Structures are given as structure tokens and as C-alpha cells.
Structure 1
């Protein structure tokens, strides 16, 4: 008896020790082939800096399509990995039905989905959003990519692929104490603030914005260069006036000292508003005196316009019914709708970008790595300038053989060691900051000054992602924001956008056709087996003991 009591006591003691050990050592195992739930080192580094409670509220709760139950489950799994890595992260799934108006006011717009179930189509509204709160700061996370996809399954796959980047980016931006500085260059007829509001207001949520005029170069060039080199990125958006040599030298030395640059350049004078006013305009080359500067870095923006059969639409008056003017949206080939590089994090899963009277870029051989970002379709035509452009040409019959210029490059990423354009030249002014080359720098050149220009409605700026007249959606804002993030990213965060997963989706058509077989297999057959087992057991028992 004493021996049994001793064995039981040892067993209880063993279980207590084992339980304590199991609580001290916690490990999750990712058995998926693509390591879907394994956090990247970048993400681990970001969430390791969360030293206070960080709340994540996800509005994927309630009655919504079965496909998006998958997105809900994948989101929950991923966030559980974050919470397991850092106990300061708290997760909450909320039903948005009782707070729809409040969510919409905070910028979380619902998505209307077409759902196919049992061969029937129906409409459903969901709020694919999450909100991250850290102290007094908060930001939103979109769980559905704003990309053109062939099916809802493809949309779901892109959404799941984008989970790590979306949440890591949000957590990184909300927990950073020191923000990088972005200069909006002025002084050479660049776009007014109101036309850049949609783009820059989003940039201001993550970075410190500062308007920087180059006018002071004429009076105090050394101090101007000193001030500019204290910033991290310079945005040059559609300059219309010629740069002086001293101004070019200032930008060149900003780059040589490690500054990043985003160029949005029109090398042709062509404006849509003047075309609508008179129905005809003269498009002619614009001399910005930047050709030699960009040539040194490895690109040349030509003075030709590109027409593309794959284009955005513009509204035109086509007649009257009574006293009401009738408008129709027609394809305008001078507004190319261009696709992004699917293999680069700046443009992956980004909707086509609308350009307006864009120029074509040539790349030159040097030691700089050049990555195409925006490229036209194959069906293009080059239009030399100067040239008259008439609005009525939109009605001309399309002859496809005239559109055989092939793919045209509109935006390119340059990375590497940039040589100064003034390396072996006379310098406009002397400065102690002069450097002959920049080490491991990067810039993006876009051959369209209007790529970041939003429209104005009743005196207020509209969203850059949507056309106020045609209601078409574009990827301009996402493309530019990704570009800024990439240029300023030192942690490798933006590369998470290239994450690719293999999501195995249900074949709905096959499941619908074979539904009777699978219903029988999963519901009826188990009952038949159970009934047969019960009948057989009862029969054998009676036979044995009768």
C-alpha cells in the first residue's frame, strides 16, 4: 500500500514539474510548405520595438461570404503569430454592423462583393479593415488590395500575401519616434500644393514634409545646399521653368551626399485643361535644362508623346436630349493606362496607373542598376513634337497597324553609385560639401508630371486614385506611396510586398456539380456505417449469448 502511495506521489510530482517546464518553454511550429506563418526577420525587428500595449482591432466579424472566412482565418492566424512574438500586442475581432457610419467617417470604406453560392449570384458588403492603436496614435490597415484581378479567388490570394507587409508597415509607422524628412521642391513652377494634396497628405502620415525653394540658391547657394542635405528625400513634381546651373548643382550634390530623389518630369508642354477649353492645342518640347543631369545618372526623357490603345477614358459631350447635354466616356489614347512591374515591391499588386501626355524614357549604359517600373502595352504610337493635338481626333477610326511601336518605358528605378554631373566640370559655386559620387543611392524617374496630380471638385482636392468624371479607379496613389516607402526604406520592409504564397482554393464549379456525391459521402455514408456496425454487433451478441 505504501509503495502504491509513493508511486502515485511521484507521478503527481512529475506532472507538476512537467507542467512548469512546459509553461517556461513555448514554441509554435510552422508546417506549411511556404512557411506562411513564419515571421520575417524584418517583422521581428519591428515588433521587438513595441514596449507598450499595442491594440489591433479587426473588422472581419459577422455574416459574410465563405471565401472571406478564409481571409478572416488567415488574418487571425497571422496576428496570433505577432502576439506570440510580443505579448504587448493585443488582438480583437469586432463586428462592424453596429458602427458602420463611424468606420466610414474614419476612412474605412466598405467593399461590395459579388458572391456565387450554389450557382446563384448575390451581393454582400464587408469592411476589410483593421485599426492599429499605440498610445495616442492610430492608423488603419486595408486587408483587400486595390488591384485589378481576374477573380475573387485571386483577390483573396493577393490579400493574404499582403498581410505581413500591411501590418508590419502600419506598426512600424506608428511606433517610430524619429520620422524621416521629405522636401517638396519649389521655385521652378512645380505643381501647386492643392494638386498634390491627395498624395502628400498620405506621405505626411509617415514622414515629415517640408517645402523647400531653390530660389535662395541665387543669393546664398552654400547655405541652401547645407539645408537641403539635412533632408532625406526630394520630390520634384512637374517643374515648368528652366533650372539654372547653380540649382542643378545643388540637386546634384544633394544626391551625391546620399539624398534620395523622386522625379516627375514633363519634357513636353501639353495640358488637358487647355485642350478642353479650345478643342485644339500645340504640344511642344519643354526645356528644363535637366537633360545633362539625368543623362549622367543613366536616363534620357525624350520629347515625344506616346499614344496607347490601352488607355484611360475622358468624358465628352456627344449630343443633347432636350436641354440636357449628354456625355459619354471615350478612350483617350494620350492617357496611357500602364501596368507595373509584377516582380518589384513598388508595383506588385498595384492597379494600372493613368498617365497624361507622357513621354518615353531611354536608359543609357553605365554602372547604375535600372529596373523598369511602369511600361506601356505593345500597341503604342510615338507622336513627335511640336505637333497639334485635336480633341476631335478621339473619333478617328483606329488602325492597329499604326500602333506598332511596342512597349514604352515611363518610369524607372535607378540604384547604385551615382557619379556627380559636375565631377570634371566647372562648378557654379564652391562648397565644402562637394562629392564626386554617391555610394549606394537610389532615385525614381517618371516621365509624366501629372502622375501625382489630383483633380479639384468644388474647390477641394479629390482622391488621386479615382477620376471625378468617369469614376474610374487607378493605382497612381499606391504607386507613388510605395515609391516613397522604397526610397526611404532602410530596414527592407517594402520587400515584404514581394511575398508569394500558394493558397489552395476550392473549385466552386466542380464542388457544385459533385455536391450530391460529397453530401452522401460526408453525411449519409457515416450513418450507414454506424447503423451497420450497430446491427452487426447486436446480431453477434444475440447469437453468442442466446
Structure 2
């Protein structure tokens, strides 16, 4: 008896010791082939800086489609990995049903899903969002990508691939104490604020945003250049007035002194609103005086327009019923719908981007690395300018043999040491900041000034990612936000967008057709085998001991 008590006591002590050891030492092993749960060095570096409690609330709780429980499980497992790396990260899953209005006010819009279960289609609404809070600061994280996908399974895969980037980016952003400075260049007829609100309001959540006018260049060029070099990034959005030599020299020296630039340039005057109002417009070359400047960096924006058979739609009046105009959405070939480079962090998983009256970009040979970002389809046609464009041409019969222009380049990333456009030339003014060659730098040039222009609905700016007339969804906002992040990113966050996973999905149609077989295999057959085993065992036992 005493020996039994002693053995039991030893076992209890051993179990308690193992449990305490388990609480003190925690280690998870990632045995997945694609290392799905292995945190990148970028993520580890970001969460290592969390020195006080950081709360992550995930609104993936409650009754929603079974296939999206996979997203819930993957999210939970990933966040547990973050929490195991830093115990100050606290995770909580909440049901959004009782707080929908509050979530919508914070910008967390619900998603409506089409669900197929037991061969029947149904609709379901979920809130695929999370909120990250640190002290008085908070930010939201979307758990479903906006990319256009062929199926819900593909959407789910992209969502799981995007988990690490989304949460690491949010944690990195909420910890920033000093924000980088972004200047919106004005003074040369650039887009008005209301037309850039959808894009710039998102930029302002992460960076310090301010206008910067070049009007003061004529009166005090040196001070303007000095002030401009305090910025980290300059955005030039659809200028319409020619730049003077002094203004170009200021921009040139901003670049050679290390400033990043995002150019959105229209080299042809052609406006969609004017076309809709008058039925026709004259498209003609616009001289901005930037040709020599951009040529020295290794590119040239041409003055020809590109028509693409793969294009966005516009509403066109096709008749009247009871004195009411009837509209139909038709393909407008002057609005190319272009795909991004699938191998670059800026454009991976980004929906097709809509351009309007875009020009072609030529690249020139020099020491600058050039990476194409936005490229047309093969079915293109170059249209020389000046050219009268009529809206009624949308009804013209398409002759495919006219669209053999091949791929056209619309956006390009330039990286390297830029030579000054004023090297070995007379300078417009003297400056102590003069540099004839930059250190390694980067810029992005887009040959469409309207790529970041949002529409206006009832006097308010409309979402850049969607068309108010056709309800088509585009990747313009995601693309532009990624370009800003790439140009300013020091932590390599966008590299996480390259993460690819191989997630095995259930074939629903096959499962539905073969459900009887698998139900029998998983439920009935084990019972039959168990019953047969019991009978056999009982028979053998009786025979042995009878």
C-alpha cells in the first residue's frame, strides 16, 4: 500500500513538474512545407520593438461560412505566433453582430459572400477586419484582399498569404514616433485637393503630408530648394502648366540630394469630363517642359495615346424610354485596364488599374535599373495627336487587325544613381546644395495624371478604388499606396507581399456528389468494423474458455 502511494506521489510530482516546465519554456515547430508559420526577420524586428501592451481585436467570431472558418483558424494561429514571440501582444476574437454600426464608422465595411453548401447557394455577411491598438493610437487591418479573383477559394488563399504583411505593417505603423514627410507639389496646375482626397487621405494616416508650392522659386529659389530637401518624397500629380528652368532645377537637385519622387504625368491634353459634356474633344500634345529632365533619368513619355481592347467601361446614353435617357456600360478603349508586374512587391495581388487617355513610355539605355510596373495587353493601338476624339466612336465595329501594337509601358520604377539633368550645363541659379549625381535613389513615373484622380459624388470625393457609374472595382488606390510605401519603406515591409502559400482547398462539387460514400466511410464503416471486431473477440474468448 505504501509503495503504491509512493508511486502515485512520484507520478503527480512528475506531472506538475512537466506542466511548470511547459509554462516556462514554449516552443512551436513549423513543419509546413511553405513555412507558413515562420515569422520573417522584418516581422520579428517590428514586434521586438513593442514595449507595452498591444491589443489586437479580430472580428472573425460567430456564425459565418464554414470555409471562412479556415481564415479564422489561420489568423488565430498566426497571431498566436506573434504573441509567443512577444508576450505584450494580446489577442482577442469578438463577434461583430452587436457592434456593426460602430465598426462601419471606423471604416470596417462588411463583405457579402456567396456561399455554396450542400449544392445550394446562399448569401452571408462577415466583417473580415481586425483592430490594432497601442495606447491611445489604433489602426484597422483588412483580412480580405481587394484583388479581383476567379473564385472565393482564391480570395481565401490570397487573404491567408496577406496575413503577415497586413499585421506587420499595422504594428510597424502604429509604433512610428517620427513620420516621414511627403510633399504634394503645387504651382503648375496640378490636380485639386478634392480630386486626390481618396488617395492622399490614406497616405496621411502613415506619413506627414503637406502641400509644397513652387511659386516661390522665382523670388527665392535657394530657400525653396532648401525647404524641399527637408521632404522625403515629392508627389507631382497631373501638372498642366509648363515648368520653368528654375523649377526644373529645384526638382532635379531635390532628386540628386536623395529625395524620392512620384510622377503622374499627362503629356496629352484630353479630358473625359469634357468629352462627356460635348461629345468630342481635341486631344493634343501638352508641353510641360519635363522631357529633357526625364530623358536624363532614362525615360521618355511620348505624345501618342494608347487604345486597348482590354479596357474599362463607361456609361453611354443608348436611347430614351418615357422621356428618360437609358444608359449602357460599354468598353471605352481609351481607358486601358492594365495589369501590374506579378513579380514585384508593388503590384503583386493588386487588381487591374484603370488609366484614362494614357501615353506610352519609352526606356533609354543608361546606368539606371528600370522595372516595368504597369503594362497594357497585347491588343493595343497607338493614336497620334493632335486627334479629334468623338464619344460616338464607342459604337464603331472593332477590327482586331488594327490592334496589334503589343504591350505598352505605362508605369516604371527607376532605381540607381541619377545624373543631374543640368550636369555640364549652365545652372539657372547658384546653390550650395549642388550635386551632379545622386547617391542610390529611386523614383516612379506614371504616364497618366488621372491614375490618382477620384470622382465626385454629391459634392464629396468618391472612393478611388471604384467607379461611381459602373460600380467597377480597380486597383488604383492600392497601387499608388504601394508605390508610396515602396519609395519610403526602410523596413522592407512590402517584401512580405511576395509570400506565397499552397493551401489545399476542398472540391465542393466533388464532395457533394460523393457525400454518401464519404459519410458511409467515416461514420458507418467504423461502427461495422467495431461491431465485427466485438463479435469476433467474443467468439474467440468463448471458444478458448468454454
TM tier relative to shorter chain: over 0.9
Aligned to 2:505: 505
1:16-44 CA-to-partner distances (Å, cap 9, x unmatched) read 65555444332111111111000000001
Name which of structure 1's ranges 39-48 and 536-545 shifts more when overlaid on structure 2.
536-545
Structure 1 counterpart SS, 2:331? strand
Q: Distance in 1 between matches of 2:408 and 2:538?
A: 80
Structure 2 counterpart SS, 1:413? strand
Q: Distance in 1 between matches of 2:201 and 2:183?
A: 14
Aligned to 1:98: 98
2:439 is equivalent to residue 439 of structure 1: yes
Aligned to 1:519: 519
How many residues align? The count is 546
1:86-110 CA-to-partner distances (Å, cap 9, x unmatched) read 1111111111122222222221111
TM-fit CA distance, 1:73: 0.7
TM-score (norm 1): 0.97
Structure 2 residue runs of 5 or longer lacking an equivalent are none
Q: CA 1:394/1:522 → structure 2, altered by over 3 Å: closer, same or farther?
A: same
Q: Where do residues 162-311 of structure 1 align in structure 2 (5 Å cutoff)?
A: 162-311=162-311
TM-fit CA distance, 1:2: 9.2
Name which of structure 1's ranges 441-450 and 101-110 shifts more when overlaid on structure 2.
101-110
Q: Distance in 2 between matches of 1:297 and 1:224?
A: 22
Structure 1 residue runs of 5 or longer lacking an equivalent are none
TM-fit CA distance, 1:323: 2.0
Q: CA 1:100/1:416 → structure 2, altered by over 3 Å: closer, same or farther?
A: same
Aligned to 2:380: 380
Q: Distance in 1 between matches of 2:285 and 2:316?
A: 27
1:299-342 CA-to-partner distances (Å, cap 9, x unmatched) read 10000000011111111111111121111111111011111111
TM-fit CA distance, 1:9: 7.3
1:54-101 CA-to-partner distances (Å, cap 9, x unmatched) read 111111111211211111111111010111111111111111122222
Q: CA 1:326/1:14 → structure 2, altered by over 3 Å: closer, same or farther?
A: closer
Aligned to 2:394: 394
TM-fit CA distance, 1:112: 1.2
Q: CA 1:6/1:126 → structure 2, altered by over 3 Å: closer, same or farther?
A: closer
Aligned to 1:469: 469
Q: Distance in 1 between matches of 2:216 and 2:537?
A: 98
Q: Where do residues 476-487 of structure 1 align in structure 2 (5 Å cutoff)?
A: 476-487=476-487
Across the aligned residues of Structure 1 and Structure 2, the Cα RMSD in angstroms comes to: 1.7
TM-fit CA distance, 1:540: 2.3
TM-fit CA distance, 1:533: 1.5
1:104-123 CA-to-partner distances (Å, cap 9, x unmatched) read 22211111111122222111
Q: Distance in 2 between matches of 1:156 and 1:438?
A: 43
TM-fit CA distance, 1:149: 0.8
Q: Distance in 2 between matches of 1:54 and 1:85?
A: 13
Aligned to 2:456: 456
TM-fit CA distance, 1:190: 0.4
Aligned to 2:316: 316
Aligned to 1:352: 352
Q: Distance in 2 between matches of 1:74 and 1:2?
A: 50
1:177-200 CA-to-partner distances (Å, cap 9, x unmatched) read 110000000000000001000000
Structure 2 counterpart SS, 1:196? helix
Q: Distance in 2 between matches of 1:531 and 1:5?
A: 39
Aligned to 1:530: 530
Aligned to 1:488: 488
TM-fit CA distance, 1:256: 0.7
Q: Distance in 2 between matches of 1:493 and 1:233?
A: 18
TM-fit CA distance, 1:7: 7.9
Aligned to 1:160: 160
Aligned to 1:330: 330
Q: Distance in 1 between matches of 2:14 and 2:110?
A: 54
TM-fit CA distance, 1:541: 2.5
TM-fit CA distance, 1:416: 1.1
TM-score (norm 2): 0.97
1:189-212 CA-to-partner distances (Å, cap 9, x unmatched) read 000001000000000000000100
TM-fit CA distance, 1:454: 0.5
Q: Distance in 2 between matches of 1:15 and 1:96?
A: 40
Aligned to 2:342: 342
Structure 2 counterpart SS, 1:442? strand
Q: Distance in 2 between matches of 1:152 and 1:505?
A: 11
